[in-house]
Amino acid sequence: MSIFPNSHGFQVAGSSFTTIDQRTSTLNIHNPHNTTNNSIQGVHANYVENINLAPSNRAGLRELLAHSIPGATHDSSDRYPPPLCYPGTRQDFINLLTKWGRNASSDHPERLAWMKGPAGVGKSAIAQSTAQALGNKLGATFFFSRPNRRDNPHRFFTSIAYQLAVKLQAFRDFLDQKIQHDPTIVTKSLPLQFNELLIAPVRALKQQGKGLPDMAIFVDGLDECRGEAAQQEIVMLVAQSLRDGDTPFRWIFFSRLEPTLVSTFNRPEIKPFTAQFELTVTRELDPQIHHFLASRLKEIREKYDLDESWPTGEDLRTLVEISAGLFACAHAIALYIEDPEGEATPKKQLNVVLGLALRIKIESGSKHPLSPLDLFYTLILERIHQKKFADLQLILLTTRLSPLHDMFTQTIAYANLLGHSREDFFVICRSLHAVMKVDADRMTFYHASFMDFLEDPTRSGERCIWSAGPRLLRHIMRSLNSTRLGPNLEPVPPLSWRVPSASVDHFVQYRNLSSIFLELFLLMVLRKIQDDETYGLVKEFDFRRLGLRGGIPTVSGKGYNTNELLIQLKTVEFRNFIQPLRLKNAFRLFSKLFDKNSSRYFAVGGGKKKVILTIYTNHSSKAVSAWFDVYSESTMKELRKELSS
């Protein structure tokens, strides 16, 4: 059983933190040279839009970009190199979707399409390859990614609208003025965003006699969008607009066969108007996988000047068997062989992979559709030294829990949180080069199946990242305990990887520490951390340290059961440092009378160290939120004085 079996679906965020990584007004914080210009620089340093957006011009478009995810586009550097179909593979699907995207397919005149299939069959590569092939018929793209944190549904329609605005001048002019008039549009609900950012401009331009071209919009990984309700709502909004003729666009979604999406696309008001294409795990792909592996290993042979006889025909046939119809497995194998670590060589790496063939035969009773890929992931992890893997577990769990979505300094922040120098961090991560790319700014997972594997103890066993939860919580408490206040009374946690913008790194480090602490604390209460050492440290912890910078972050989502959490908070085990609390604050009591939702309050901590824990349930959306509030302003002032002396 998982340490944190219900931990998926969390969101950890603080409002002040969001403004740092998303708004252009604070972009210079992340610019070590403190340079500025009059063009939008996006949320990422190397994303530059060539439209003049000086402060006095295009303010609406600036606001739209600030609430989008540039890293989710097909041509973003965040995804470089993107997954692509190798030349000579998947050409049937690429041709089919290219014709559909150009409205040149008599067999599929539908304006809504769904390409479905299990993980690892190459959906993202087909989406990327087709999007690139469409040229000027491509309107916009969005590649959801749960492990890379491109999964916020409230930044989806804003991202699509921004890309369309970049390409279509009339659309751009209208949208810019509309958002300038009401900047809150970009923060509205999904239905309002869709109506105001996509339907309203099309309708207004049509009335002015300005038609828009027929363009395709590609959306990959819809199943990785945060929240099943949001996934369903996105599809239904798009389908309704196409039935009503409100937009001239052609939409295609790529996703796994998740039950929510299957039922949504099969609804009677959607299915008749949708072209459905299915990718399956089939050994009919063996010739294409053989072509891919033969070509890639030839490149590796030439790169390392190996014998012409390498690899043998039998080697290639074995690799095809190991891949078992999964392009994701073949791709990971090629990366593993190409970039050996330490004293290893491509020949040695190949021999290690070939050894999987026997294990696959022995363990062929596994019913999981990704068992060959799981075995390959297991092989990679088995060959990592125990101490290094323990460090890797903490790094991977931190990426899972961290609120850093689109920060410039993502990699630096993770290293600082865990106390690694720049050199040590890259050495540790080097062992996962076949499944993960790490550069100076960020960490990118090549395929969602790797983190799926690591989060599921039935697949990854003792290597499941949740088993590192107690260690991570203890480390975070030690870091918070060593945090002091600087001259400006800002928290200054220790840094192991310093850069010129040190003040920003201190801020990011502190928010990261406090956010992850809150999530792990709630999971500990749910008895997912059954560890005496960790429990003892939490019991003595000074919770006021979480509020040194004002508001203490919120954890929200459906990843835990509210009733179970409330029951555990009242058990004998926690009674000595968690007590139910009846608020005497008149405003809160008055508000509670008119609030249809429910809140429960608890005092957490002992003596002067306590804070207020609020558990809030929105009964209409089923969403659950939790946050800490300052218990006593006077005791908080005492702590600030102590830490600044």
Q: How confident is the model at residue 598 (pLDDT cuts 50, 70, 90)?
A: confident
Q: Reply yes or no on whether the pLDDT at 56 is more than 50.
A: no
Mean pLDDT for 204-227 is 95
Q: Reply yes or no on whether the pLDDT at 168 is more than 90.
A: yes
Owner of token pair 């809160």: 588
Q: Which residue has the higher pLDDT, 258 or 363?
A: 258
**pLDDT at position 576, please?**
78
Q: Reply yes or no on whether the pLDDT at 15 is more than 60.
A: no
**pLDDT at position 6, please?**
44
Q: Reply yes or no on whether the pLDDT at 362 is more than 60.
A: no
Q: Among 84-93, 260-269, 339-348, where is mean pLDDT lowest? A: 339-348
For residue 146, give both structure tokens. Answer: 């749960």
Mean pLDDT for 389-402 is 94
Q: How confident is the model at residue 552 (pLDDT cuts 50, 70, 90)?
A: low
Q: Among 48-52, 260-264, 273-277, 618-622, where is mean pLDDT lowest? A: 48-52
**pLDDT at position 500, please?**
64
**pLDDT at position 301, please?**
97
**pLDDT at position 230, please?**
95
Task: Round to whole Å and give the CA distance between 49 and 42.
Answer: 8
CB 127 within 8 Å of CB 144: no
For residue 614, give both structure tokens. Answer: 């609020």
| CA distance to 14, 135, 416, 499, per residue, from 506 (Å) | 15, 44, 9, 11
Mean pLDDT for 205-220 is 95
Mean pLDDT for 143-172 is 96
**pLDDT at position 8, please?**
42
For residue 133, give both structure tokens. Answer: 């092939």
Q: Reply yes or no on whether the pLDDT at 83 is more than 60.
A: yes
**pLDDT at position 599, please?**
84
Q: Reply yes or no on whether the pLDDT at 505 is more than 90.
A: no
User: What digits encode the pLDDT tens for the residues 290-340?
Assistant: 999 999 999 999 999 999 999 999 999 999 999 989 999 999 999 999 988
Mean pLDDT for 568-593 is 70
**pLDDT at position 623, please?**
67
For residue 426, give both structure tokens. Answer: 């890259």
Q: Bridge partners of 112?
A: 251, 274
Q: Reply yes or no on whether the pLDDT at 42 is more than 50.
A: no
Tell how many helices (H) and how many strands (E) occur in the chain.
28, 15
Q: Among 266-275, 335-344, 564-573, where is mean pLDDT lowest? A: 564-573
Task: Round to whole Å and give the CA distance between 338 and 297.
Answer: 8
Q: Among 34-43, 168-177, 364-373, 577-586, where is mean pLDDT lowest? A: 34-43
**pLDDT at position 30, please?**
30
Q: How confident is the model at residue 29 (pLDDT cuts 50, 70, 90)?
A: very low
Task: Round to whole Å and give the CA distance between 245 and 234.
Answer: 17
Q: Which amino acid does the sequence have at 459? A: R
For residue 241, give both structure tokens. Answer: 């607009």
Q: What phi and psi values does residue 398 have, to the nearest 5 degrees? A: -65, -45
Pairing verdict, β 443-445 and 436-438: antiparallel
Q: Is the Cα torsion angle 510, 512, 515, 518 positive or negative in sign?
A: negative
Q: How confident is the model at residue 558 (pLDDT cuts 50, 70, 90)?
A: very low
544 class by beta-carbon count within 10 Å (0-12 exposed, 13-18 middle, 19+ buried): buried
Q: How confident is the model at residue 509 (pLDDT cuts 50, 70, 90)?
A: confident
What is the pTM assigned to this prediction? Answer: 0.78
**pLDDT at position 556, please?**
59
* H, E, C per residue of 136-203: HHEEEEEECECCCCECCHHHHHHHHHHHHHHHCHHHHHHHHHHHHHCHHHHHCCHHHHHHHHHHHHHH
Task: Round to whole Å and give the CA distance between 466 and 475.
Answer: 15
Mean pLDDT for 202-210 is 94
Task: Round to whole Å and give the CA distance between 448 and 450.
Answer: 5
Q: Is the Cα torsion angle 360, 361, 366, 368 positive or negative in sign?
A: positive
Q: Is the Cα torsion angle 145, 148, 151, 156 positive or negative in sign?
A: negative
Name the packing angle between helices 200-207 and 169-181 (round to 10°): 120
Mean pLDDT for 191-217 is 96
Q: Provide the 10 A C-beta neighbour count for residue 573.
A: 12
Q: Enumerate residues 6+ apart whose C-beta is below 8 A from 633.
A: none
- Bond before 287 cis per omega within 30 degrees: no
Q: Bridge partners of 491?
A: 485
What 8-state DSSP symbol labels residue 437?
E
User: What digits encode the pLDDT tens for the residues 439-493?
Assistant: 888 889 999 999 999 999 999 999 999 999 999 999 999 999 999 888 877 888 8
User: What digits encode the pLDDT tens for the residues 139-153?
Assistant: 999 999 999 989 999
Q: What phi and psi values does residue 251 have, to the nearest 5 degrees? A: -110, 135
**pLDDT at position 596, please?**
53
Mean pLDDT for 257-279 is 96
CB 315 within 8 Å of CB 354: yes
**pLDDT at position 563, please?**
78
**pLDDT at position 614, please?**
87
For 507-634, list the strands marked E by DSSP: 554-557, 578-580, 598-604, 611-617, 624-630
Q: Reply yes or no on whether the pLDDT at 43 is more than 70.
A: no
**pLDDT at position 627, please?**
86
Nearest to 438 by CA among 448, 453, 423: 423
For residue 460, give both structure tokens. Answer: 């990854």
CB 439 within 8 Å of CB 450: no
Q: Reply yes or no on whether the pLDDT at 587 is more than 60.
A: no
587 class by beta-carbon count within 10 Å (0-12 exposed, 13-18 middle, 19+ buried): exposed
User: What digits encode the pLDDT tens for the residues 403-442?
Assistant: 875 555 688 889 989 999 999 999 999 999 999 999 888 8
Q: How confident is the model at residue 618 (pLDDT cuts 50, 70, 90)?
A: confident
Task: Round to whole Å and give the CA distance between 69 and 219.
Answer: 13
Mean pLDDT of the chain: 84
- Bond before 81 cis per omega within 30 degrees: yes
| CA distance to 24, 298, 329, 348, 502, per residue, from 352 (Å) | 48, 18, 15, 6, 43
Q: Among 77-81, 208-212, 405-409, where is mean pLDDT lowest? A: 405-409
**pLDDT at position 342, please?**
74
**pLDDT at position 508, please?**
81
